Structure 1
Amino acid sequence: MFVLGLADGMNKPRLAIAPVGYSAPLDVRDTIRSYRQDSDIAEAVADFCPQIVEYSTQIDVAEIPSSTNLQSLDVGDPRAENEMTTLGLYYLRTHEYERALAGEVNLVVGRKGSGKTALWISVRDKTRSDKRNIVVDLKPEGYQLIKFKEDILVHLTEGAREHLITAFWEYLILLEVAYKLLEKDKNSYRHNHDIYDLYVSLEDAYRAPDFTSEGDFAERLSRLSERIIQEYRRVFGKEINQKLNAAQVTQLIHSHDLRDLRQKISAYLQHKKSVWILFDNLDRGWNTQGFDALDAIVLRCLVDAGRKLEREMRREDHVFHCIVFVRNDVYDHLMRHSTDYGKELRAVLDWSDPDLLREMFRLRLVAALETSEDTSFDEFWRDICVPHYKGEETSTFMIERSLMRPRNFLKIFSHCKGFAINFRHARIEEKDINKGIKAYSDDLLQELDRELSDVHPEAKDLLYYFLDSKSKISRDGLRELISSSGIQEDSIEKIIQFLLYYGVVGINSNGSDYFIYNVNYDPKMLNMRMQRDNESNYIINPAFWPSLNISVSSEEIVSRSEYE
């Protein structure tokens, strides 16, 4: 009676059920549902449920607590492509950035997630801030070049390939410079007597009868490639080992009078400060069957064409820079197919100092919290994350599992922060780190498996063969594991070198663990330790332990017999 009265007093729906013949109090007798069997009770409850649903839609929803500081914290996106408008607020200007900005390099080399695109964006935005500079930022898609390779390059001799590709890149770069000059001054040249005649002359040279400049760079590149393919088929058909002389290359590629176009560009540049050609994304799309010798030729010829134009323009007192941004595995492949490519000026984005990653993150926190730039990383960190996890300082724990890549560090923090927000924690707790590291490890496994497949297609899904393995693996044990995935014997050693170079595995020697980023990215240091210490073993990077269910017992070593 008390509960029924309380429900009535609070205007809440209620249901009272009693067996047939039960003498209920007079006050509630008319509202009692009687039952003879169990099915009557189920029917009464079924009739009562709609009343509850209707009532729940009428009550006032309790006020949602205000968001926590952690929830409102935005440290940027792990992918630089998604933070083009904000990257300048917190970009860490490293020595390699300064070298690129000074025009001292032709290549910027780095692993996925090491910051190539971030550097590309930062150099582009910095140079573009001076209106006198001409910045041509190009991001070709790989599929456009794949068709070019399949339809033309495979039919040519090596010398003809290099001649054709170098001419193709030189022609394309000049066209894009002309396009940028015309686009930049299209609204002002009529009112500027210094450039009016030059603009009209350059525009006439650029508008060839069978050439269209509409669309973005990807579309222009695609149309240019398609036109060359069609012209090649018309002239040569599918003849293999075709040799091309200079006149044939000119006929095949150029819709313009190239000499005239270059001269008019040079004349126009007398009124500009500098030209920057920035190639990013060139190696995207070259991955389905692995990076091959033709890809190396395409890249090498691009760099050669850029250097050739630099020399020609500098002889005419123009400041002209061409920088290509590529993955380090692509560059390594390029080195193997070149005789003197070690002379190429390059900036290498290899991170080996944990404090540098902390500084990268600190700058993002300064921008996100709009606080003093003098605030230290430790002051920030203890407000947003517990100081220790399993006895280890938390930022160190995360950085060690990032494979020393800025993108990965941001991913780990993002995963941990996401779980903390879901459970409305004021800061990241140990349980959030535990769940965040597992989610990150799953992502990393898939990403590195694709990266391995890019370079060695035959090793697809190899990393999944480490499932349920031990943290330490003997020399023979690792070779047997790789062999069990179907890798041929003559490819096992290069697969091991890849695993070492990308930090998937390291060396455990004399009680210490060494990964590639601990030895300044010099694989010879790891190989030498393995050769000198007969008791050394390979160790799987802790970043993969959660996703691969790795046993972390240091005493358990995988031996050959476990795979036999």
Structure 2
Amino acid sequence: MVQGVDSVRQLFFGRDDAENDLTDGLLSSAVFRPNYAYREVLSGRKSLIIGRKGSGKSAICRRLAAPDGHPGACVLITPDDAAGDEIRRFELQGVTADTAKSLIWRYVLAVHAARHLALHVRAAHGRRSSRAVGALRAFLRANGESDDARLYDRLRRGARGLQSANLSLKAFGIEAALGVNGASEGARASRQLEVLEDGVADAFASLGCAKTHPPLLYLVDQLEQVWTVDADSHALVTGLLLAAKHITGRYGRAVRTALFIRADIYDTLNFSDVDKFHSDEIRITWSHDGLRDVALARARASLGAELTAEQLWGRVFPPSVRGEPTAEYLFGRALPRPRDAIQFLNACRSVADERGGPVITEEDVLAATERFSRWKLQDLAKEYLVNHPFLRALFAMFENSGYFVTREVIETRFEVRRQALHENFPAYTDSLTPEGVIHVLYEAGFLGVWRGGDVVYAGGIQAPPGPGEDEFHVHPCFRPALNSLGTERMTVQQGALLRSDVDGACERLRRLLDRAPLPAPTHTETLGEVLSIETEALRRKTQGRPPTSAQLRNVATHFQTLADTLRQSGHVSHPVTRRLLDEARSLTRTAGGAIGSGQGSNSEG
């Protein structure tokens, strides 16, 4: 225990969401960890922040919006259901849905800029007003936009004005409602917006805002609150991207945007200009070091003490759990994002506090592991409920079984459930295939793929599993909830048995080739094939990778092919030919299958 502090009773790692964290003071500048994504947004180099739920998007957003965050003025926009419905319903004859939604977003952003200029001209520039700012004030009054309205009300007024071409533009020298003879609704709306945006641009230019102070920053967050799997939701988000790109070009360096979008939403977007946003994108990723930094900063804040990392991970928490350093144990069993880390840490603290202990023990961490795993399995299904409502039904494929699975095992388990899944989720039959299931489970972080001597989970620039990648691991986060804890030892034992079969078969064949050699060229070729198989088995052994049943059958098929080749060369009754067939049958039985023995056959039964 940290001297003088009742550590567990006072220890607290924060709330699950950035809004409440801000209320509790844990997003203050002293506690908030300014990661790379935050620094890139603050500098203006990136404007499109993409991350999974709980990865810290809203924390960055709220930190930028704080008084000591972004040095300039900020406008925070968080659409609710009513605002989302209004945008989804907005249509204009003569333009695409994406373009229509971009126009209503441009209206909202222009009005926010006009209101900002009307309020800040004296404070920022020492002037009572200017002609251009006066025109904006007149526009706001004439169109009922002078008040601090809800986003829904602003959208409703803008939609009515753009669809009927009756925005009052008198402030900009246009007396009547603006129309273009024979033009579509979309063309008329676009022309009205151009007049308004010209007025905003003139005001920024007349005040020299781009040169005299930091830009106005639009922060748009919580888009998942208005997202559904339909074309209008797609257009809502796409339209926002197009509008943000447009206004930063139109208003120059006087404004910037920062859009915070969940990865599962952004990755579904498909529109012609998507390639124009790559330079604006940044994806939030977290390392164990980053999460340790978050944990330490929050522990210090809650305890009010200059806690060291050694004290946190050696006195408040136990030094190790099941022989593994505690921090590695914890962060290796959570998805790499701050929300999961905070929840796991708080669970450990709660278990210890319920027990009445002054510090967190190894037993407390183990009990919290069970609790946390159940939470996260439920949370994962909810996180992807909109895009993949079938996800919860897939978890049953991995219950009470080993966490190590092969593509073949997944295919077998899926086939048992295919009909029920297709009946229960008829709109998703294209995704509900073995390959589709593997892709979804990998992207969700539920499965990792064996690659390059290690298990790789989704995140950052990792590519999805390819056709030749056949070994997968359930993430340690979900294993306790699935009752997969006891199977690691069993898998190792089974792997040792399978390796022994392959090693033994190759050794017996080598000895036989020494005693009963074939003609020189044939002997050399056959021995080379056997040694190749043995070398691959040894390589997998040194990597700790147990061979799969499919790979065992592949070795058996290889032996069968070698035997067929020898028989076709006239060595039908040679001891090596017979031994190859015997070893092939033995390996196939071990793998749980049968192999044909007819001449020239290398098919699996």
TM-score computed with the length of structure 2 as normaliser: 0.67
Matched with 1:134 is: 73
1:171 Cα deviation from its structure 2 partner: 1.1
1:531 maps to which of 451, 468, 475: 468
Alignment of 1:313-328 (within 5 A): 313-314=251-252, 318-328=253-263
Is 2:353 aligned against 1:421? yes
**CA distance, structure 1, for counterparts of residue 126 and residue 361 of structure 2:** 62
CA pair 395-345 structure 1, distance change in 2 beyond 3 A = same
Alignment of 1:486-525 (within 5 A): 486-487=421-422, 490-491=430-431, 492=433, 493-508=435-450, 512-517=454-459, 520-524=460-464
1:248 Cα deviation from its structure 2 partner: 3.4
User: Which amino acid counterpart does residue 398 of structure 2 have in structure 1?
Assistant: F
Matched with 1:175 is: 111
**CA distance, structure 2, for counterparts of residue 509 and residue 322 of structure 1:** 38
1:266 Cα deviation from its structure 2 partner: 4.5
**CA distance, structure 2, for counterparts of residue 295 and residue 326 of structure 1:** 13
Give SS of 1:490's match: coil
Q: What do the CA deviations read for 1:296-346 (whole angstroms, capped 9, x no partner)?
A: 3322322222222112222xxx43211111011212112577552463411
User: Which amino acid counterpart does residue 468 of structure 2 have in structure 1?
Assistant: Q
1:279 Cα deviation from its structure 2 partner: 0.8
Give SS of 1:92's match: coil
Moved more, 304-313 or 472-481: 472-481
Matched with 1:125 is: 66
1:69 maps to which of 1, 4, 7: 7
Give SS of 1:333's match: coil
CA pair 298-433 structure 1, distance change in 2 beyond 3 A = same
**CA distance, structure 2, for counterparts of residue 300 and residue 552 of structure 1:** 47
**CA distance, structure 2, for counterparts of residue 117 and residue 200 of structure 1:** 35
1:509 Cα deviation from its structure 2 partner: 6.3
User: Which amino acid counterpart does residue 515 of structure 1 have in structure 2?
Assistant: Y
CA pair 224-552 structure 1, distance change in 2 beyond 3 A = farther
**In the alignment, is the contact (CA less than 8 A) between 1:386 and 1:429 conserved in 2?**
yes
**In the alignment, is the contact (CA less than 8 A) between 2:370 and 2:480 conserved in 1?**
yes
**CA distance, structure 2, for counterparts of residue 230 and residue 551 of structure 1:** 60
CA pair 467-482 structure 1, distance change in 2 beyond 3 A = same
**CA distance, structure 1, for counterparts of residue 130 and residue 276 of structure 2:** 43
**CA distance, structure 2, for counterparts of residue 434 and residue 311 of structure 1:** 54
Matched with 1:476 is: 408
**CA distance, structure 2, for counterparts of residue 272 and residue 165 of structure 1:** 31
1:162 maps to which of 87, 98, 121: 98
Is 2:387 aligned against 1:451? no
1:505 Cα deviation from its structure 2 partner: 0.9
User: Which amino acid counterpart does residue 359 of structure 2 have in structure 1?
Assistant: R
Matched with 1:101 is: 42
CA pair 228-329 structure 1, distance change in 2 beyond 3 A = farther
User: Which amino acid counterpart does residue 522 of structure 1 have in structure 2?
Assistant: Q
Give SS of 1:531's match: coil
Is 2:265 aligned against 1:330? yes
Superposition CA RMSD, Å: 3.6
**CA distance, structure 2, for counterparts of residue 229 and residue 197 of structure 1:** 25
User: Which amino acid counterpart does residue 531 of structure 1 have in structure 2?
Assistant: G
**In the alignment, is the contact (CA less than 8 A) between 1:449 and 1:462 conserved in 2?**
no
**CA distance, structure 2, for counterparts of residue 305 and residue 489 of structure 1:** 35
CA pair 453-269 structure 1, distance change in 2 beyond 3 A = farther
1:90 Cα deviation from its structure 2 partner: 0.8
1:434 Cα deviation from its structure 2 partner: 2.2
**CA distance, structure 1, for counterparts of residue 6 and residue 70 of structure 2:** 37
CA pair 309-383 structure 1, distance change in 2 beyond 3 A = same
Is 2:196 aligned against 1:249? no
User: Which amino acid counterpart does residue 114 of structure 2 have in structure 1?
Assistant: A
Alignment of 1:256-295 (within 5 A): 257-264=196-203, 266-268=205-207, 270=209, 272-287=213-228, 290=229, 292-295=230-233
Alignment of 1:172-251 (within 5 A): 172-183=108-119, 193-195=127-129, 200-209=134-143, 211-214=144-147, 216-221=149-154, 223-224=156-157, 227=160, 244=184, 246-250=186-190
**CA distance, structure 1, for counterparts of residue 137 and residue 187 of structure 2:** 25
CA pair 213-446 structure 1, distance change in 2 beyond 3 A = farther
Is 2:284 aligned against 1:349? yes
Give SS of 1:453's match: coil
**In the alignment, is the contact (CA less than 8 A) between 1:114 and 1:406 conserved in 2?**
yes
**In the alignment, is the contact (CA less than 8 A) between 2:113 and 2:200 conserved in 1?**
no
**In the alignment, is the contact (CA less than 8 A) between 2:17 and 2:339 conserved in 1?**
yes
**CA distance, structure 1, for counterparts of residue 473 and residue 64 of structure 2:** 38
User: Which amino acid counterpart does residue 505 of structure 1 have in structure 2?
Assistant: L
CA pair 129-255 structure 1, distance change in 2 beyond 3 A = closer
CA pair 202-489 structure 1, distance change in 2 beyond 3 A = closer
Give SS of 2:45's match: coil
Alignment of 1:290-439 (within 5 A): 290=229, 292-314=230-252, 318-335=253-270, 340-341=275-276, 343-351=278-286, 353-372=287-306, 376-439=308-371
Segments of structure 2 that go 5 or more residues without pairing to the other structure are: 166-182, 423-427, 495-547, 551-590, 593-605
User: Which amino acid counterpart does residue 11 of structure 2 have in structure 1?
Assistant: L
Give SS of 2:20's match: helix
Give SS of 1:479's match: helix
CA pair 297-223 structure 1, distance change in 2 beyond 3 A = closer
**CA distance, structure 1, for counterparts of residue 242 and residue 163 of structure 2:** 26
User: Which amino acid counterpart does residue 207 of structure 1 have in structure 2?
Assistant: R
1:405 Cα deviation from its structure 2 partner: 1.0
Matched with 1:112 is: 53
**In the alignment, is the contact (CA less than 8 A) between 1:208 and 1:255 conserved in 2?**
no
1:468 Cα deviation from its structure 2 partner: 2.7
**In the alignment, is the contact (CA less than 8 A) between 2:105 and 2:240 conserved in 1?**
yes
**In the alignment, is the contact (CA less than 8 A) between 2:118 and 2:137 conserved in 1?**
yes
Give SS of 1:454's match: coil
Q: What do the CA deviations read for 1:104-158 (whole angstroms, capped 9, x no partner)?
A: 112001011111011112222267564xx22111111245223532x344x867x
CA pair 451-559 structure 1, distance change in 2 beyond 3 A = farther
Q: Which one has more relative contact order, counting CA pairs under 8 Å at least 6 apart?
A: 1
CA pair 127-68 structure 1, distance change in 2 beyond 3 A = closer
**CA distance, structure 1, for counterparts of residue 285 and residue 216 of structure 2:** 27
CA pair 106-273 structure 1, distance change in 2 beyond 3 A = closer
**In the alignment, is the contact (CA less than 8 A) between 1:112 and 1:327 conserved in 2?**
yes
**CA distance, structure 1, for counterparts of residue 48 and residue 277 of structure 2:** 12
User: Which amino acid counterpart does residue 203 of structure 1 have in structure 2?
Assistant: R
CA pair 267-220 structure 1, distance change in 2 beyond 3 A = farther
**CA distance, structure 1, for counterparts of residue 127 and residue 276 of structure 2:** 45
User: Which amino acid counterpart does residue 176 of structure 1 have in structure 2?
Assistant: H
Q: What do the CA deviations read for 1:436-494 (whole angstroms, capped 9, x no partner)?
A: 12221122112110222222234454335533333222213323444515046631333
CA pair 439-551 structure 1, distance change in 2 beyond 3 A = closer
Q: What do the CA deviations read for 1:235-286 (whole angstroms, capped 9, x no partner)?
A: xxxxxxxx945443258x8698554354335535636542111111123231
**CA distance, structure 1, for counterparts of residue 236 and residue 279 of structure 2:** 16
**In the alignment, is the contact (CA less than 8 A) between 1:310 and 1:320 conserved in 2?**
yes
User: Which amino acid counterpart does residue 444 of structure 1 have in structure 2?
Assistant: K
